Amino acid sequence: MKRTNTTRVSILLASVCLGSLSVGMPAYSQDEQATGGMMLEEIQVTARRREESLQDVPIAVTAFSANDLAMRGAADITDIAQVAPSVTLEPSRATNSTLTAFIRGVGQQDPLAGFEQGVALYLDDVYMARPQGTLLDIYDVERIEILRGPQGTLYGRNAVGGAIKYVTKRLSDEPEFGLKLSYGSYNQIDAVAKGSVPVSDKVRIGATVASLNRDGFGENLTTGADNYNKEILAARASIELLPSDDLFIRISADYTDDDSNAVAGYRPYPGAVSGTPVTDSVYDTYAGATEHASTAGIDGNNEVTSKGIQGSIEWNASEAITLKSITAYREDYTESVIDFDSLAVDDFDAPVIYDNNQFSQELQLLYNSDKISGVFGFYYLDAYAANDFDVVLGQLGRVAFGSELTAYTGGVVDTKAWSLFADVTYDFSEKMALSLGGRYTHDKRSADIFRANYLNGNSPFFGNDAAIFLAASSDFEAERTFKDFSPRIALDYQLSDDALLYASFSRGFKAGSFDPRGANLTSPEVEEGFDPETLDSYEMGLKSTWMDGRARTNIALFYSDYKDMQIPGSLPIDTDGDGTNDGFVGTVTNAGKATIKGIEFEGSFLLNEHFTLQTSLNILDAEIKEWLLNGENVADQREVQNTPEFMSFVGLNYNTDVKSGTLNVNANWSHKGSIVQFETPVPEIDQDAYDIFNASIVWTSESGKYTFGVHGKNLFDKQYKTAGYNFPTLGLENNITTFYGPPRTVTATLEVRF
C-alpha cells in the first residue's frame, strides 16, 4: 500500500503524543531508579559551547558517540545521514571526498570557488571553509553532533542550514595503544593504528594513522581501472599541555591524501554518435578522459590532499569565566578528471584544479553562574579559493572547427570576514530560562575571473602553448562587502524533571559572492555578483525522558522563511549562433522566497535489559514561492534540491553477556523519500524513494582488549542515485550521467587495545 501524507502525519502525531505522555508521568526517586537497574545512557554534548546533557539543550541536536558509530560500523560521515532526521550527506558528483550537505532543505552542492556551504562543518571547532576533503572518514572520534537550523550566535562561522561537529578524542593520562584491521567486500583492507602516552604529568602526545583501501564497485571498461575505488592515507597527531589545573593547551595537525581513481557516472542512454551501449552495471563506465590529451595537463591525475594545523588554549580564569582561543590554518589541493560523457571518446572532458587555503582565529569568553550562562565570541576568517578547469569538447570541435574546442575558466575568490557573536541564557527560575543571542557579520568578497575559448586542445593554463585563442567571455575583478545582524531568541520551560519544552526564533545569513563561470562580456551584471541569502526559522520542541529513564523522545516542529536562496547552475550556450551549443555559462539565481516547514521525531527506548529500540522520522514540506525569470514567477516549475519529503529510521539493538565478553547485535532500516538533484526535475538523475537495510554483530572481550565485528551495509543491494550531470545538448553524445551509492558490502573488523 502506498503511504500517503495523511498516513505519515498520523504516524508522526502519534509519536508526538507518545512523547508528551512523559509530562504527566510521575518522577521516580533516585532509590527507585537504582533498584530498576536500567537506564538509557545520558548523552553529553557541547552544542552551546558548554558541556551539558542533550536533553537540556533547547536546540534540535542529534549526537553520536564513538561507541554508537563503532557498533554500527559507520565508515564516514555520510552514514549518519541515515539516522539523523532532515539530513542529507552525500559525495559530490565525480568525487570520493568532496561533501554535499543539506539540512532542512538548506545546502550547497557546487564545489567551485565563490560558493560557500549552507551547512557548516567543524573539525574540533575549526570551520572548514571549502567542501573538498570534508567527507570525513570516521576514526579517532569522540562524538559527532548535528545541529539543525541556523547556527550563528554560538559558532565561529554563520551557518544558514545547520552545523556538523566532528570532535576527536582528547589524550588519556595513561598510555594507550590500539590497532584496528578491517577486511571486506571488494577487497576492502583498512588499518588504523593509534597511540598516546603521557610524557609527564603536564605533557601528553598522541597520533593516529589510517590506511583505507578498497577495489572499485565497478570497472572502467576502457582503461581497465577500478571505478568507485578507495585509496586514502590519513594521519592526525596532537600534543596536549596542562601547565596547571586551570590551563589546557592543545596543538594538533592532520593530513589526508586521497589517491582514489576518478569516478565516472553511469549513462542511461547509448552514445548518440559513437553508439556506445549502456553498461550492464550502474557502477561500470567507458570513461576514457584520464588517457585523453584533454587531461594531459594534469597527467590524467586524480588526487585530493588536505592538511591543517590548529592550536587551542582553554583557561579557567575563575569559577565563572573561561577564556578560549582557537587558531587554525588549513589548505587543500585537488587535481581531478571529470569525464562528463563517460565514454571512450573525448566528447566532453574536464581537467580540474582546486587550490584552497584558510586562516581562522576565534576568541571566546564563556560565563557560567547560578542565574546566567553564555558565550561571547570574536571570529576572523581569511580564506582563498581558486579553481581552474578546461571544458574540452573534442568531437564537436573537430566537426565544427577541425580541432578540439576548449572553454577555460579560472576564478579566484577571496573572503575576509569577521564577526562578533553572543548567546546568553538567563534562568528566571528553576523551570524557566530565556536565551538571547546576536551576531554581527562583516564579509568582504574579492574576485578575479577569466574565461576564454580556445582551439587546438587545452588552454595555455594546462600547458598547451599551441592553443589558438578565440575570444574571452569573461575578464573582470570585483569586490563587495556584506554586513548583517542576525538575532536569536529562545524560551525554554521545564515541564517536569524529565521534560523540557522550548520555542525559538533564529536568523541565518550567508553573504553574497561571485560566480567564476559568469560571462561578464555578454552579461555585465555578472560583475555585481549575487546577493546574500537569509533564513528566518521558528521552532518549537519537546524533549522528554520517561519510563524511569528507559525512554527518551525528542520532537521538533519548525517553519523557515527562506529569502534570496543562492542557487548556482550552468547552462549550455550557442556562442556563434549556428544552432549548436559550443560552450556554457554559469547561472546563479537568488530565488525570491521559499518556505520550509516540518516535524521531526527522535526516540530511544530501552525495552528490557537486552533490547534497545532507536527511531527517527521527519516530514518536510519545502516549496519555492517566488522565482522570477524574465519578470515571470516560475516558482511552480521549481523545487528545493536534495530535500526528501519523508525520512525515517528504525534500529533494534540486542546486547547480552556471553562467555568472556559482551555480544551486540544491531539491525536497522532507513527510508528516504524521493528527491530532485537540481531545481528542475530530471528523471534520469533524480531518485525515487528507497530503503536501506543494515546489520552488525560485534563481540567485545570482558577486558575490553579485543573487539571483533561483522558489519553488513545495504544488505538488499539497493541501487540508489546520489548525484548526476545533465548536459544533453553539450557535446554530441547526449551527455546525461548518474552516480550511485555503495552496493551491498560486508566488512569484518578486529580491534586490539594495548
> What is the DSSP track for 333-386?
EEEEEEESS-SSS-SSEEEEEEEEEEEEEEEEEEEE-SSEEEEEEEEEEEEEEE
Taking 80 as the threshold, does the pLDDT of residue 15 lie above it? no
The three cell numbers locating residue 323: 577564556
Q: Examine the pLDDT at 32 and tell me if it is beyond 70.
A: no
Percent of the chain with pLDDT over 90: 81
DSSP string, 440-503: EEEEEEEEEEEEEEEESSS-GGGT-TT-EEEEEEEEEEEEEEEEEEEEEEEEEEEEETTEEEEE
Q: Which amino acid, residue 385?
A: A
- pLDDT 10s digits, 185-231: 999 999 999 999 999 999 999 999 999 999 999 999 999 999 999 99
Q: How high is the pLDDT of residue 37?
A: 54
| CB-neighbour burial class of residue 677 (10 A; exposed 0-12, middle 13-18, buried 19+) | buried
pLDDT (tens digit per residue) in 127-155? 999 999 888 898 889 999 999 999 989 88
Question: In DSSP terms, which residues pair with 255 in a beta bridge?
Answer: 235, 307
Predicted confidence at residue 490, as pLDDT, reads: 96
CB atoms within 10 A of CB 440: 14
* Model confidence at 485: pLDDT above 90: yes
Q: Where are the domains of the chain?
A: 5-753
DSSP H helical segments within 73-144, as ranges?
none
Q: Look over the chain and give the mean of its residue pLDDT values, rounded to a whole number.
A: 91
User: Does residue 441 contact residue 509 with C-beta atoms inside 8 Å?
Assistant: yes
Q: How confident is the model at residue 64 (pLDDT cuts 50, 70, 90)?
A: very high
Would you state the pLDDT for residue 543? 96
Question: To 10 degrees, the CA torsion angle through 193, 96, 387, 569?
Answer: -150
How far, rounded to the nearest angstrom, does the alpha carbon of residue 322 sit from its chain's CA centroid?
A: 30
- Greater pLDDT, 109 or 246: 246
Average pLDDT for 495-508: 95
pLDDT band at 23 (very low <50, low <70, confident <90, very high): very low
d(CA 125, CA 138): 17
What pLDDT is attached to residue 601? 98
For range 256-281, the mean pLDDT: 97
Q: Which residue has the cell 518536510?
A: 620
Angstrom distances, CA of residue 693 to CA of 90, 217, 298, 642, 650: 18, 18, 40, 21, 10
What are the phi and psi torsion angles at 401 (to 5°)? -125, -5
320, 367 contact by CB (below 8 A)? yes
Mean pLDDT of 674-695: 95
The single-letter DSSP state of residue 536 is: E
How would you class 174 by CB atoms within 10 Å of its CB: exposed for 0-12, middle for 13-18, buried for 19 or more?
A: exposed
Q: DSSP assignment of 97-109, as one string?
A: S-EEEEETTEEE-
Residue 270's pLDDT is what?
A: 98
In which band, very low, low, confident or very high, does the pLDDT at 580 lie, cut at 50, 70 and 90? confident
The count of other CB atoms within 10 Å of the CB of residue 656 is 11
pLDDT > 80? residue 524: yes
Pull the grid cell for residue 58: 533547547
- What's the whole-number mean pLDDT along residues 97-109? 92
Predicted model pTM: 0.92
Closest of 390, 410, 412 to residue 467, by C-alpha: 390
d(CA 643, CA 634): 19
Task: Give the Cα separation of 398 and 346 in Å (integer).
Answer: 11
Average pLDDT over residues 606-621: 96
In CATH, what class is 5-753?
Answer: mainly beta
If you search the block for the grid coordinates 604529568, which residue do you land on?
201
What would the mean pLDDT of 484-490 be, rounded to a whole number? 96
The answer to whether the CB of 316 falls within 8 A of the CB of 310 is no
Q: For residue 101, is pLDDT > 60? A: yes
